[in-house]
């Protein structure tokens, strides 16, 4: 990786990766906020977080991690500012929090499907762009990253380690006393996640699921 590192390669990777990855992260948070709004909590709506404008969502450390993993990791990981949710406004807090948590990963899966559809359309339209091979290659690369990165974001957020979405889904099905004890692990969650990420353990666990999902979309959309 270091031998192949250059400013040109870095800028090239970022040029076609940043838009689909940033879009995936933002859509993920907007989906949380929108589901909370539908379940009775308008906090994110009132704070202007139900928007695709990246400015209200950007977390500097999360964006840096996104860029770093885009250049050095087999899959991309990053985060935006979490949308605020006030559970007291929810009609059924325990059940509704499960839906709010699940909305993020589900939105990434849907976005991956949209990128797969764009990829298929681009294959069909490719003969019209043969005079612009650079544009064609850029779009293919961007849509490919859109598929893989969004599936990666979905699966990594489904890992049941607090504070990831998967942990909130698990808490929703646990008895209250066990859910409370499980939630107490959140203070160690990011440390555990970073260790799993940079030791490669997380990649070994998630990459087979991501690869299987990519192959499924390839089959469904005929790409």
- The tens digit of pLDDT for each residue in 99-153 reads 999 999 999 999 999 999 999 999 998 888 777 788 899 999 999 999 998 998 9
Asked whether the predicted pLDDT for residue 169 surpasses 60, the reply is yes
Rounded-to-integer distance, Cα 107 and Cα 222, Å: 22
Token pair in block for residue 68: 């770093």
8 A C-beta contact, residue 85 and residue 36: yes
Asked whether the predicted pLDDT for residue 37 surpasses 70, the reply is yes
The whole-chain average pLDDT of the chain stands at 87
User: For the CA atoms of 26, 107, 156, 45, what is the dihedral angle to 10 degrees?
Assistant: 50
- How many other β-carbons are positioned within 10 Å of the β-carbon of residue 33? 27
DSSP alpha helices (H): ranges in 39-125? 43-46, 60-72, 93-125
Most confident segment among 1-15, 143-157, 171-185: 143-157
Rounded-to-integer distance, Cα 206 and Cα 159, Å: 9
């Amino acid at each position: 990786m270091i031998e192949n590192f250059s400013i040109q390669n870095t800028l090239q990777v970022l040029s076609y990766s940043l838009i689909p990855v940033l879009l995936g992260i933002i859509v993920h948070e907007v989906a949380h906020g929108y589901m909370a709004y539908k379940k009775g909590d308008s906090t994110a709506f009132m704070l202007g977080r139900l928007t695709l404008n990246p400015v209200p969502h950007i977390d500097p450390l999360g964006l840096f991690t996104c860029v770093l993993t885009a250049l050095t990791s087999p899959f991309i990981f990053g985060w935006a500012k979490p949308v605020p949710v006030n559970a007291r406004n929810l009609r059924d807090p325990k059940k509704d929090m499960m839906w709010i948590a699940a909305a993020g990963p589900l939105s990434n899966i849907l976005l991956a499907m949209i990128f797969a559809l764009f990829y298929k359309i681009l294959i069909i339209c490719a003969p019209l762009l043969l005079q612009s091979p650079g544009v064609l290659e850029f779009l293919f690369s961007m849509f490919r990253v859109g598929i893989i990165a969004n599936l990666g974001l979905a699966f990594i957020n489904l890992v049941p380690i607090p504070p990831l979405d998967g942990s909130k889904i698990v808490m929703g099905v646990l008895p209250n006393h066990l859910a409370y004890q499980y939630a107490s692990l959140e203070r160690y969650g990011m440390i555990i996640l970073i260790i799993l990420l940079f030791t490669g353990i997380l990649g070994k666990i998630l990459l087979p699921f991501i690869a299987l999902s990519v192959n499924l979309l390839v089959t469904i959309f005929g790409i």
